Chain A
Amino acid sequence: MSERGETLLRAGILGAIGWFLYTRLSNGTLFFYVHQRFAWLMLVAAMLFVLLALATADQALQSARHGEDTDTHGHRITPLALFLVSLPVALGILVPPKPLGAQAMGNREVGLATLVSAQRGEARELVQPATQDSILGWLMRFGADPDPEAFAGQEAEVLGFVYRDDRFADDQFMVARFAVFCCIADASPVGLIVRWPDAAGLALDSWVQVKGHFGAAEFEGQNLPVLIAEEVLPAAQPAQPYVYP
């Protein structure tokens, strides 16, 4: 590859990263990867990538005009580096954007105790859920009041995806969301245990709207508030699948 070809390729990759960030930002799927508060940063970055692409392309064309296309001029980027830097955009296009789901919960293994205690104390001041009727909102209330009986009879309606593993009885599942602080590298699952006769028949990862009331029940040897469902309706994946504490 000639020096000019390499420089133009570099300009192309920089431009592609800018274009990728911009299109994902404008259709909202960028937030499957990073927190919404970074929207402005991503927009600035997209524009800067395009600016660098233009400057790089301009240099390639200028050196061509001056007939300076020799191997001794300028700095060469190895083909491996070109490949690696274009990998994120390539993967981003090849693998359709999809938020983290039940599959990713496996190794994050929802430790209920950890989750509930994480919401306790000082953290609670900062951690304010969007709506009081969210999974996160309930977990925080559970954290504030360790007595599971305190919530018996209270009505709730929450939206989340279905998660089950072998710890769950046939009539139990978890309605879950991922809580994201920064980007999904730190995503941690939050969920409520639901009692529903057809739990085993629900498809893993499908989105459901659960309506019911709380009652205390045993899960993994712990007495916890469990949502006794009166209604489990299939729902569409929300535009914003994560919850932001």
Chain B
Amino acid sequence: MRINENQLISDLLYSLGQSRQAVDALQAQISSGKLVNKPSDDPVLMQRLMLLQDQVNQNSMFQQNAGYAVNFLSSQSSALDQSVQVLTQIKGLILSAANDQNSADQSTYASRLDESINQLLDLANTKFGDRYVFGGRQTTNQPFLMKPDRTGVVVNPNGIDGVLQVDIGYQIKAQYNVTGAEAFSNGQIFSDLIAIRDKMKSGTAPSSGDIQTIDNYLNQLISTNAKAGSMINRFQLIQQQLSSESDSLKSTISTLGDTDIAAAVIQLQQKQIALNAALQTGAGIIQLSLANFLK
């Protein structure tokens, strides 16, 4: 076959272009650290990586949900802890009052009890952020409201027994609150304490029945707190599971989609050597012409 200069040069340019393209592709893989830099690099892998990434994103959202639930429950739990302390103090107060035969002292006990009721009420109206934690789903309305004349506590008429839920998986929900209805017996605890206070104010010492009532509420608070605690444990466990799932997803993404730098660098060097050789020989060959030797 006849080979002329133009053919030589266009062939040389074509193969140099091919070499440069290969070097460019490897360089992109190395500098971005990713095998797929545009969808057409590997459409199948790209789609797979996107699906995995979606899972990671969802997973991190579920982790965030679980984290929020843990925080919310912790604030409930610490309010319940304190409520237990306050109620224990109240019990001590009532016990002393019951044992005090001097009816004149009862009104002093009554006013101390009134302060403790206030403390307990504050705890029952605890907020996490802007949300009343014991308001059920009525998080924007104060669940327990002391009447101005302090003769009783009004419970939010819309109900405080609503269950709060978050997603912890695709279409998997979990409850993350204990309600004011269960922790504070739907406000009955305040009515009973106020009745005891009023009785003491009028000079009557508390009865053993009153002590029993308080014990019952104490047990109710403790068991509700235990329920909150076990929910915290559950969400922490879910967080750990989600996090290890996320780790394994991420490592799959990395295995599939990240450039093997060592391999890529070696390949790049091979391509560079080829390109270098093509440039060197090309530069030599295109200079050869019969014209150089004719005198």
Are A and B interaction partners?
no
Residues of chain A at the chain B interface (Cβ within 8 Å): none
